[in-house]
A and B are shown apart, each in its own frame.
Chain A
Amino acid sequence: MVDKIFEQTERIDKKIQDIQSEQKELNVSGKEDKYFENEEKIDHLKKLRSDLLDQCRDLTPEDHVYIARLSNRPHIKDFIGALFTDFFEQRGDHLCDEDEAIYGGIALFHKIPVTVLGHRKGRTVEENVACRFGMPSPEGYRKAMRMFKEAEKFNRPIITFIDTPGAYPGMEAEAHGQGEAIARSLAMMSHLKVPVISVVTGEGNSGGALALSVANRILMLKYAVYSVLSPEGFCSILFKDTSKKTEACSLMHLTADELYQNKMADEIIDEPLGGASFDPVTVYDELDRAIYRNLKELQKMSPSQLLADRHRKFRRI
């Protein structure tokens, strides 16, 4: 399992860090022997680390799920920071509430004004709680819809980032029409007259993910997963037994490769060994190029062509 590998790489990283800080002091005090000894140690540790990451070449679907959920994986705010400029956050559904589980606004992408939004899980415990770990309420979907409508009005392309365990299963969410909100979002997205590109960056589970990904193009990071339900939920429904997660992950066909084969994902964005968190910049670069290329293609289409293109994508499934 990949988590064991990551435990070891983390320990090694910690050791390297410790030695490196020691090196700074040694450099000043002129203890050269010790200094060179330490340099050798670092080289050795780095070799160990890359050997460990080499083991990540052949991962199971369950490993993909694990990587997709890592909290140090790039999140929506990281992607917006890296790929867009002049971001202006839009908040609230302008009906009754603000839902932090959906984050987005207007920004420039290669000088093109776009609407960018997606699920937000948060990184600190406080953020996690405020965002309900990326599980939106109906207000979140209504906030997204308000942004979709505004984007359409000003003819801005829409880029969405998908990373959610699913829509929030709570009493208030039900009372406020979780199902209706998702349904409206699906219906609205299916008929947007502007290009829509969705990027599945982490886990995309159930209607909560689909509600933001009725797109012309669906890009998936290599270790991202997209499925009908969380593997845990799948187990409890189908097997009445949550210990069969490994089996469930394999049966669900949820990896980027499998979605690509099933013609649901249009493109896979490569990630470094071990996942995006080991070298986010290379992922930003590749994603940037992929979004740009797809956007240019879609911008050549008329509104009716865009609609027909999106309709075809979902109609044939």
Chain B
Amino acid sequence: MTEEYIDTDPFEMCKGCHRRSRRSQWESHYYVCPVCGKYKNVSAGYRFSLIFDNKSFKVINRGITSDDPLNFPGYKEKLRSVKERTHLNETAVAAVGKISGVKTVAVVLDSRFFMGSMSQAAGERITRAIEAADKHKLPLVIFSASGGARMQEGMFSLWQMAKTADAVEEFSRNGGLYISVLTHPTTGGVTASFATLGDITLAEPGALIGFAGPRVIEQTIGKKLPKGFQRAEYLYQHGFVDAIVERSELKKTLTKLLMLHGCKVTGGTPW
């Protein structure tokens, strides 16, 4: 099964400049605002179709869904309504496909599902994807986007950080290549676990990336944060991101990196 990008409105508004553009225009611009250039959050299915050859990929671990480990009041109902609204059943979607001929495991955290917050199920899906990449000696690409921990799952959410970091470390020690792509917004426990443990770290332009949320920092230090703080460009300047990559260039960049790590890529070297 694949996640489809469903939208019936012929126009879509940009959250940055509030201008409406035709869907076809958005599409041809890789869902980057044709007017102001702001990046729109896209679905897991769209990301997979963007990087995998012939838009062909196989979703894995889809059966793992969120439980309610703490019996949190209202959580089950909220899960149900979010599932209905987003047509997703968890934030982390994992798939296997080929990037320029190289079989690769990819995971996308879809921020439409509970703000991409880390749940037990999401952590399990990510961990299994890393373990699958490790087992089959495949490169791993993870597109992170997260508001942080899933509060309703308490400590079960927090410990996903240790679980995923452990899996990445094991994968890394076994020689696996992990490319981490930070997308808007990547914060909290995801930033403080697998998202910042890549061999190569890429980021989308303008993405908010940080551990503590800007609001919490402002409250703590008692002043307004400067413009551009915690944006991809800021992290690039401070040495935590290797490259900021336009969405249109992403597949090309991934292909180049795969090639440089010894993978046999098809389709030439157009960089």
Residues of A that sit less than 8 Å from B by CB: 167-171, 173-180, 182-184, 186-191, 206-207, 210-211, 214, 226-229, 233-234, 237-238, 251-254, 259, 262, 264, 310-311, 314-315, 317
Contact = CB atoms under 8 A, between A and B. Distances in A.
B240 A207 contact: no
Tell me what chain A mostly uses at the interface: helix, strand, loop, or mixed.
helix
A183 B154 contact: no
A42 B173 CA distance: 65
B155 A214 contact: no
Contact of B220 (A170, A175, A186, A311): A170
| Contact residues on B (Cβ < 8 Å of other chain), bracket | 35 or more
B236 to A, nearest CB: 12
Nearest to A183: B196
Contacts of B79: none
Q: Which 6 A-B pairs have the closest CB atoms?
A: A169-B212, A179-B191, A190-B166, A186-B165, A179-B211, A182-B192
Interface of B: 69-70, 72-73, 120, 123, 127, 149, 151-163, 165-166, 168-170, 172-173, 188-189, 191-197, 209-213, 216-217, 220-221, 225, 229-230, 234, 238-240
Tell me what chain B mostly uses at the interface: helix, strand, loop, or mixed.
helix
Which of B192, B193, B221 is the most central at the interface, judged by chain A CB atoms within 10 Å of its CB? Answer: B192
Contacts of A173: 211-212
Given A206-B158, A252-B154, A253-B70, A191 B166 contact: yes
B159 A317 contact: yes
B194 A175 contact: no
A179 B169 contact: no
Contact of B163 (A174, A207, A254, A315): A315
Given A177-B238, A251-B70, A315-B127, A264 B159 contact: yes
A38 to B, nearest CB: 50
B192 A187 contact: no
B192 A179 contact: yes
